[in-house]
Amino acid sequence: MLARIIAELGPWSWWVLGMLLLAAELVMPGVFLVWIGLGAILTGVLSLLLWDAGFWSWQIQSLVFAASAVAFTLAGRRLFTRLETSSDEPLLNQRGASLVGRTAVLAEPIREGRGRIRLDDTFWLVSGPDLPGGARVRIVSSDGRDLTVEEA
């Protein structure tokens, strides 16, 4: 059945595939199917021009489609990385990194390099030199949920 549809549509089958991929991008966004859809549309344009040429077999069409999809994907990736702008709040979703430079009081002493501090409403695991509870520390770095401190 699929072969019959492709045979009846001829070079327009690539256009249909391209439009289906672009429509699928609307349903599940991620800016990936756009590039593959554009590859299918480019193959459709070439198919309209070269349909009666003897060398324009389905194998050549598939190779052109694969190559153009890869080329569009790489070009799109390059375009989007160039268009990225720096944020006015670069630490917005990096809570640990946003704490670097702050000072706090140890809620639990640092023993064998590990302890806890309380900042705002959260207890944080800290690593640093052994210090008694209640000592003032400065946060010098963040590694995910663990903070590294030094005596303030």
**Same domain assignment for residues 73 and 145:** no
H-helix or E-strand spanning residue 85: none
pLDDT digits (tens, 9 = 90+) for 10-53: 888 899 999 999 999 988 877 789 999 999 999 999 998 988 88
49 and 104 inside one domain: no
Helices (H) and strands (E) in the chain, counts: 5, 5
Summarize pLDDT for 68-103 with one digit per residue, the tens.
999 999 998 888 877 666 767 766 677 777 888 999
Which tokens belong to 113? Answer: 């390099």
Q: Tell me if 18 is assigned to some domain.
A: yes
Q: Is the pLDDT of residue 148 over 90?
A: yes
Q: Do 61 and 7 share a structural domain?
A: yes
List the alpha helices (DSSP H) in the chain: 2-9, 12-27, 33-50, 58-83, 95-98
